[in-house]
Chains A and B, each alone.
Chain A
Amino acid sequence: MKKGITTISPAFEDIMPEEYRQLVAEGPFGKDLGLGDLGTFKELIEEHPLCAGCGLALGIRLIIASLPAPENTIVVGTTGCSAILFPQLAMHNIHSLFGNQSAIATGLSRALRLRYPDQPKDVVVIAGDGGIGDIGFSFTMQAWFRNEKFTTIMLDNEGYSNTGGQESGMTRQGIALNMAPTGKKYPKLPMVELAKTAGCAYVAAVNPSLARRLGKMVRRAVLVAREIGSTYIQVMVPCPTNYKFSPSETLKQAKALNPQPIEYISAEAEQLLKEAEK
């Protein structure tokens, strides 16, 4: 983003919304802020309409605050709970259709590399488990096989929440949800292993109670995607509404489901990160 693009014309200053004025004065663009700075700057998400105790809302808040260069990052989403939040994100973000996010991101990242050869533009797919693991599975895998240079972040709440709590491929075996009235018949999809097999240079899985760890992973995944190729992070974001637990228990559930973070870094990515994190 060129400097000053968000600056308000003096003639319009008094009619611009308060939140936009705050964003210009105290926003994170061009300031190299991270998770540790939360609370000291105006965040890019202004409220959200998601449920009380939504794990996904927390996940997105932490992910967005961890982006290494939000002023040059474009988010590609897909249908689902996250698509209800993204219209309130003060970053360019695309909702195209359900499941085609990796194909959209492929075209977008290639176009931006052509148009801005000297200015990195990070493309980050942020989508749910149904969007990535089921309806968009083929496009996700194919983008990884092609080693497209963008990051994919799955918000894994183990089901289709926005449509009323249906089973997804990421639901654990045996759990009864809508459309799986007698319990899911097959295991949770091994997306982390598939990402490694498909050739992703950086693969991680984490729950949002480990906020600093998550922040570091987002930063690493974006930097590796910028220089080397596809990267993947799976964030466990349980859904109190459809899994029927108390909204105050979300983090407890997340910790129980994903107690141990996973991080895989290819040798090439390791080298790059060593330089970047010096």
Chain B
Amino acid sequence: MVERKIVDPEYLLHKAPREKKFLIGNEAVAEAVRRANIDIVVAYPITPQSEATHIVGDLYAQGYIKDYYRGEDEFAVMSAIAGASMGGARTFTATSGPGTLRAFEMFPTWAGARLPVVCAFMCRGVNSPLSIQPDNIEIGWLMDTGMLIFHAEDPQDFFDMTLIAYLVAEQPDVHLPVGVCVDGFFVTHTREIVELPPENEIFPPYNPHLSPVPIMDMETPPIRQMRDPFVMKSNYISYNTHASWQQEVRAASIRARKHITRYLGSAVEVTYPEANILLIASGTAAAQARVAMEQARQEGVDVGLVKIKVLRPFPEAEIIELAQSPERIIVPEHNITGWLAREIKSRIKDSGKVEGGPRVFGGMTMPPKIIFDKIKQNGRMM
């Protein structure tokens, strides 16, 4: 282990000199873990995630992480992560598709318990039939858990967003779990240039005393929570307690916006916002859409791109504003359900101009050509 130095997180993210490395996404996220000063990691094998937590295991063996073990399944892993977080530790774990579904009961529980857990989701197809291939259908389900959801386009995003996830999650006025999602294989197993700050510079440790809910360590007065448990009572107070608690989780998610802006810049990245046709995409669909946009612009088609980096809290105001001027909006996605198109259509005034698709799923790649064809088809419609 190299001698490490605690530095200011904003310096580490935005000012520290960066060196170029040629990394796959799974290596990039592990490089973020190396610098995040993490106490406990719990891992469970699943493709395409496993490699990331292998590398994190090596970091543990070298002394970068204080505790690490393989759990018995993803529900157990996410539960152990909750226990560790309730005990005041900074945690990391990762999973994919079927693992996400097996663990699912824990995600709203993390949010409801206000745990600043960071979990990487290396998205893949879910059964049936069996698939281990890229598909991000699980993000659509994760979006309603109360977690904050980031969607990284490439290994560089994966590195930066994972570090930023800790900074946002641990704000006392947020204190919510963050899911950092990537499209499996396309990001996890693809080698790209990633710019990294020095490996011996790390975040300050997590300060559990800033938590808005008590840490379970018997170091705050152990008050009785209530005289009669709400689960027993069918009355207005118990309903209202649960309802207002859920509202507060959503409010905390809204309060995260200012921190996201501070560390990530903006929740959206816009190219040619005044264009007649606007592509709106997240993850690797945004990368493919960018290629298609450039081809189409060379042929004289007026098309722009909005890359959505943060899905929860959804950048509602930005999307409503951006959706006003284009005549057509195209939403390419790596899943069959079209969760991003649904998000956009449900928020803008004229949802008729949104074309959901092209969509690929079950492991298929998304050639820029199918987005290009969709652009031309929409150009003719105008």
Shortest Cβ distance from A75 into B: residue:
B216
Please give, as numbers and ranges, the residues of chain A lying within 8 Å of B317 by CB-CB distance: none
B105 shortest CB reach to chain A, Å: 6
Residues of the A chain whose Cβ atoms lie less than 8 Å from the Cβ of B85: 107, 111
B88 touches A139 (CB 8 A): no
Residues of A within 8 A of B231 (CB): 83-84
B229 at interface by CB-CB < 8 Å: yes
Within the complex, what minimum Cβ distance (angstroms) separates A111 from chain B?
Answer: 3
- Most B CB within 10 A of own CB, among A6, A90, A106: A106
Nearest opposing residue in chain A for B84, CB measure: A107
Q: Which residue of A lies closest to B216 (CB)?
A: A92
Q: Report the stretch among B49-57, B72-80, B143-151, B184-192 that lies at the interface.
A: B72-80
The answer, among B71, B105, B222, B227, for a CB contact under 8 Å with A90, is: B222
Write out the residue numbers on chain A whose beta carbons fall within 8 Å of the beta carbon of B76. 100, 103, 138-139, 142
Least distance between B217 CB and chain A CB atoms (Å) = 6
Q: How large is the interface on A (under 10, 10 to 19, 20 to 34, 35 or more residues)?
A: 35 or more
User: Which B residues between 78 and 114 are near A, CB-CB below 8 angstroms?
Assistant: 79-89, 91, 105-106, 109, 113
Q: Report yes or no: B217 in contact with A73, Cβ–Cβ below 8 A.
A: no
Q: Count A/B pairs, Cβ under 8 Å.
A: 146
Q: Do B83 and A94 touch across chains, with their CB atoms under 8 A apart? A: yes
- Nearest chain A residue, comparing its CB with the CB of B231: A84
Nearest CB of chain B from residue A22's CB, rounded to whole Å: 12
**Nearest CB on B from A95, distance (A):** 9
Answer whether residue B237 sits at the interface, using C-beta atoms and an 8 A cutoff. Answer: no
Question: Which one of B66, B69, B75 contacts A100 once the chains associate, using CB atoms below 8 Å?
Answer: B75
B75 near A111 with CB under 8 A, answer no
A95–B348 Cα gap in the complex (Å)?
A: 41
User: Chain A contacts of B214 at CB under 8 A?
Assistant: 92
- Given contacts A49-B232, A84-B232, A139-B79, whether A107 and B42 have CB atoms under 8 Å apart is yes
Give the residues in chain B near A115, CB-CB below 8 Å. 87-89, 208, 217
Does A273 sit within 8 A of B, measured CB to CB? no
Q: Which residues of A contact B229 (CB under 8 A)?
A: 49, 83-84, 87-88
Query: Does A35 touch B at the CB level, under 8 Å?
Result: no
Hey, which chain A residues are within 8 Å of B240, CB to CB? none
Q: Taking the complex as formed, is B39 at the interface, i.e. its CB lies under 8 A from any CB of chain A?
A: yes
CB-CB under 8 A from B71, the residues of chain A are 103, 142
Whether B105 lies near A114 (C-beta < 8 A) is no
Given contacts A87-B229, A92-B217, A142-B72, contact A108 B66 (CB under 8 A): no
CB distance from B221 to the nearest CB of A (A): 5
Task: Tell me the chain A residues, 58-101 only, with Cβ under 8 Å from chain B.
Answer: 71-74, 76, 83-84, 87-94, 96-97, 100
CB of A25 within 8 A of chain B?
A: no
Residues of B within 8 A of A107 (CB): 40, 42, 79-87, 89, 91
The residue from A72, A73, A84, A104 contacting B83, defined by CB atoms under 8 A apart? A104
List the A residue with the shortest CB-CB distance to B89: A111
A105 to B227 CA separation, bound complex (whole angstroms): 25
User: Bound complex: CA of A106 vs CA of B68, how far in Å?
Assistant: 12
Q: How far is the CA of A76 from the CA of B218 in the complex (A)?
A: 13
Once A97-B79, A103-B79, A107-B42 are accepted as A-B contacts, the answer to whether A5 and B220 lie under 8 Å apart by CB is yes
B224 sits at the interface (CB 8 A) = yes
B interface residue numbers (CB < 8 A to A): 39-40, 42, 66-67, 69, 71-73, 75-77, 79-89, 91, 105-106, 109, 113, 208, 214, 216-229, 231-232
A residues near B, CB below 8 A? 1-2, 5-6, 19-20, 46-47, 49, 71-74, 76, 83-84, 87-94, 96-97, 100, 103-112, 114-116, 121, 138-139, 142, 146
Jot down 29 A-B pairs with beta carbons below 8 A, ordered by A: A5-B220, A6-B221, A71-B218, A74-B217, A87-B226, A88-B225, A90-B222, A92-B214, A92-B216, A92-B218, A94-B83, A96-B83, A96-B109, A103-B83, A104-B82, A107-B81, A107-B83, A107-B86, A107-B87, A107-B91, A108-B83, A108-B216, A109-B87, A110-B83, A111-B40, A114-B66, A116-B217, A121-B218, A139-B76
